[in-house]
């Protein structure tokens, strides 16, 4: 994610310097060398689990903002370090949830982002901003919801994030295009739904299947409920009656995930294997290809979008899908990044530019829907990857 972010940011002039950090310092250095801009890009070694080390690096490079592009397990340390160091914080995935111990498929317990929102007052009192969930989903999808509320609808019934693709990866029967660690987390946790008057509640994984016809040639894909941040973010700022997130995983993908659960291979808890202690999920991740290396084997498009139903500004029923599509062939040719990674990394670059230029302003812990949508949508077009709007029959 960091390398895709850097390749996109390189074409912009709003920043003075970006330092990429990783546990293995050779990885960010390789990205910097590839960019051939050592005056604007630097690298550093950093253990993202070490809050003190993060604070020290922020001070050393005199950072104004930190983009957390790590596994969500490290969110608390990075989030807390940014508050201590008094810098703007951004991430693309929020702190992790914990299922209800007795009623996991009915009630929430620790929700996505609860750790971060619990500190909202601290950030606001310090006059600092933590912009959480600023990828594509969550991220651009939240911006689409805000845009619909501001400019397209007078009354919103449902906001449903719908994600699907026709991506094919040559040579692999099973190869997630995103972190398998995160994929297991969000797909096997109880999905969250929000309803006005009821609040947040959970259901069983892969529930409420529906077939959605995605635009730009992707076609009909079955989508199912999956735990995702938008459902926890959008209702805080956008007035609606129901919010959901559904992902077009495909039957084969779902069966693999179910098998991992049956075998206990989705567990984050370490088990002893001879003289070693390892987490089964880490073993699964280690056996699968790095998503960063799959671009040359991928074909097809990926679509992230927000389906909104309700009454339009004219008072008539309206059903609109606002979306963003990336063709893998294009993203590989133009940026050297596969489509899913590039599509996610694009959005924090835009957000940072809007913050740097003062177009977006805020304090506290906020999601993307807390900011005006139009400047972001204009930037998408300016960056050469505009959003689309599909009007459907209500």
Burial class (CB in 10 A: 0-12, 13-18, 19+), 368: buried
Q: What is the pLDDT of residue 270?
A: 92
Please tell me the distance from the alpha carbon of residue 36 to that of residue 18, in angstroms, as a whole number: 13
pLDDT at 184: 84
Q: Identify the bridge partners of residue 68 per DSSP, sorted by sequence position.
A: 91
- pLDDT per residue over 334-355, tens digit each? 999 999 999 999 999 999 999 9
Q: Show the domains of the chain with their CATH numbers.
A: 2-131 (3.40.50.720), 140-335+386-392 (3.30.360.10)
Determine the Cα–Cα distance for residues 119 and 13; give it in Å rounded to an integer: 33
What letter does residue 313 receive in the DSSP assignment?
Answer: T
Task: Tell me the per-residue pLDDT of 208-265, one tens digit each, with 9 for 90 and over.
Answer: 999 999 999 999 999 999 999 999 999 999 999 999 999 998 888 888 888 988 999 8
pTM for this entry: 0.93
> In which residue ranges of the chain is pLDDT below 50?
none
What pLDDT score does 326 carry? 97
How far apart (Å, rounded) are the C-alpha atoms in residues 337 and 332? 5
Q: Which residues pair with 155 in a beta bridge?
A: 311
Residue 24 burial (C-beta neighbours within 10 Å; 0-12, 13-18, 19+) = exposed
40 near 6, Cβ under 8 Å? Answer: no
Residue 257's pLDDT is 87
Q: CA 321, CA 308: separation in Å to the nearest integer?
A: 6
Are 390 and 309 within 8 A, CB to CB? no
Q: What is the 3-state secondary structure (H, E, C) of 229-288?
A: CHHHHHHHCCCCCEEEEEECCCHHHHHHHHHHHHCCCCCCCCEEECCEEECHHHHHHHHC
Query: What is the structure's pLDDT at 355?
Result: 98
Question: Residues 46, 348, 339, 393: is their CA dihedral positive or negative?
Answer: positive
């Amino acid at each position: 994610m960091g390398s895709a972010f850097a390749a996109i940011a390189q074409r912009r002039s709003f920043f003075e310097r970006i330092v990429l950090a990783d546990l293995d310092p050779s990885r960010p250095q390789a990205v910097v060398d590839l960019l051939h801009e050592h005056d604007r890009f630097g690298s550093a070694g950093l253990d993202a689990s070490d809050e003190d080390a993060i604070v020290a690096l922020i001070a050393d490079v005199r950072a104004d903002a930190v983009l957390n592009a790590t596994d969500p397990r490290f969110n608390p340390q990075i989030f807390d370090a940014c508050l201590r160091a008094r810098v703007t914080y951004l991430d693309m995935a929020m702190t992790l949830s914990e299922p209800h111990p007795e009623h996991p498929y009915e009630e929430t317990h620790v929700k996505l982002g609860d750790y971060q929102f619990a500190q909202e007052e601290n950030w606001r009192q310090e006059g600092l901003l933590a912009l959480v969930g600023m990828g594509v989903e969550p991220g651009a999808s939240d911006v689409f919801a805000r845009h619909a509320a501001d400019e397209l609808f007078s009354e919103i019934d449902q906001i449903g994030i719908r994600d699907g693709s026709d991506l094919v990866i040559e040579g692999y029967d099973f190869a997630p295009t995103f972190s398998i660690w995160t994929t297991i987390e969000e797909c096997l946790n109880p999905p969250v739904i929000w309803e006005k008057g009821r609040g947040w509640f959970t259901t069983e994984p892969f529930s409420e299947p529906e077939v959605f016809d995605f635009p730009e040639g992707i076609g009909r894909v079955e989508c199912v409920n999956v735990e995702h941040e938008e459902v926890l973010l959008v209702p805080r700022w956008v007035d609606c009656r129901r919010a959901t997130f559904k992902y077009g995983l495909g039957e084969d993908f779902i069966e693999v995930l179910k098998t991992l659960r049956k075998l206990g291979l989705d567990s984050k808890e370490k088990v002893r294997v001879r003289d070693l202690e390892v987490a089964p999920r880490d073993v699964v991740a280690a056996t699968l290809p790095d998503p960063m290396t799959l671009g040359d084997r991928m074909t097809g498009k990926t679509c992230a979008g927000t389906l909104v139903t309700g009454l339009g500004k004219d008072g008539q029923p309206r059903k609109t899908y606002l979306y963003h599509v990336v063709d893998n062939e294009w993203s590989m040719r133009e940026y050297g990044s596969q489509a899913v990674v590039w599509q996610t990394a694009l959005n924090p670059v835009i957000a940072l530019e809007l913050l740097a230029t003062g177009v977006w302003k805020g304090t506290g812990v906020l999601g993307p829907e807390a900011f005006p949508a139009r400047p972001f949508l204009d930037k998408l077009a300016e960056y050469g990857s505009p959003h689309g709007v599909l009007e459907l029959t209500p």
